[in-house]
């Protein structure tokens, strides 16, 4: 088994590791997050685990059910539609603002996100690619320098990761390379109007890649997920 850490695990670092495992789809929606099992895996107390799970519940990544325990959240179909509707309202305008504020350093940082995403795709690590794709969108919101909106977008993208894990029906739910490359071209030209339209069509494509019918995921082994 791979050593999980080289320094003591705190509630904050455990939160970050569990958050990443959820976003990378190593832990499926609906998976029970047993306190004892997590404590054994990471060598921490139940108090530390509970604190991390409480933080995850505040981020709406985990549901705490009375007398049942903690489970990775399962967004409903209604919420899935609402999340992507909200993204379609916010992100195109944010892309417009980001394009007008774009610097060469911003372009380089965004390109690194895309390169890392493609490396993950080529290695077959779709969960990692999805996580990096979300980071690309968050970076755009941060470049726009609209802190309140960027915070909303970060929360929406966090929910989107769970939604895609549940309702993904085709590989293009992973942000297609041509969509991100087209956005990069608009950013390089500092073309706000084109960036806005490209982001709008990109989000439409994402929502059409989801099968928004009532389905349930099959939870994976928690130990296998967290020790990969």
Q: Please indicate whether residue 219 or residue 100 has the higher confidence score (pLDDT).
A: 100
How far apart CA 148 and CA 158 sit, in angstroms, is 16
Do residues 168 and 160 touch, judged by C-beta distance below 8 A? Answer: no
Residue pLDDT, tens place only, 78-121: 999 999 999 999 999 999 999 999 999 999 999 998 999 889 88
Quick one: the chain helix, strand, coil %, rounded to 5? 70, 5, 30
Residue pLDDT, tens place only, 143-176: 999 899 999 999 999 899 888 888 876 555 455 5
Q: Please indicate whether residue 214 or residue 10 has the higher confidence score (pLDDT).
A: 10
How far apart CA 117 and CA 95 sit, in angstroms, is 19
pLDDT at 105: 97
Q: Checking phi first, is residue 217 left (phi over 0); if not, alpha (psi -120 to 50) or beta?
A: beta
Query: What average pLDDT does the chain have?
Result: 87
Q: Please indicate whether residue 152 or residue 8 has the higher confidence score (pLDDT).
A: 152
Per-residue pLDDT band at 211 (split at 50, 70, 90): confident
List the structure tokens of 29: 């929606």
- Full set of structural domains in the chain with CATH: 11-73 (1.10.10.10), 77-208 (1.20.120.530)
């Amino acid at each position: 088994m791979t050593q999980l850490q080289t320094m003591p695990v705190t509630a904050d670092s455990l939160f970050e590791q569990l958050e990443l495992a959820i976003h990378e789809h190593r832990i499926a929606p609906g998976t029970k997050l047993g306190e004892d099992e997590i404590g054994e895996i990471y060598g921490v107390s139940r108090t530390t685990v509970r604190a991390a799970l409480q933080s995850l519940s505040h981020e709406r990544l985990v549901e705490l059910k009375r007398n049942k325990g903690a489970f990775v959240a399962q967004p409903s179909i209604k919420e899935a539609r609402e999340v992507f509707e909200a993204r379609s309202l916010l992100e195109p305008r944010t892309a417009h603002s980001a394009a007008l504020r774009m610097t060469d350093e911003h372009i380089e940082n965004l390109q690194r996100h895309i390169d890392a995403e493609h490396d993950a795709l080529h290695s077959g690590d779709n969960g990692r690619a999805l996580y990096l794709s979300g980071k690309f969108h968050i970076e755009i919101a941060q470049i726009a320098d609209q802190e309140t909106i960027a915070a909303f977008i970060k929360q929406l993208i966090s929910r989107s990761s769970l939604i895609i894990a549940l309702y993904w029906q085709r590989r293009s739910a992973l942000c297609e390379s041509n969509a991100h490359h087209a956005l990069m071209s608009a950013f390089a030209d500092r073309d706000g109007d084109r960036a806005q339209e490209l982001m709008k069509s990109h989000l439409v494509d994402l929502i059409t890649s989801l099968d928004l019918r009532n389905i349930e995921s099959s939870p994976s082994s928690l130990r296998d997920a967290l020790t990969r």
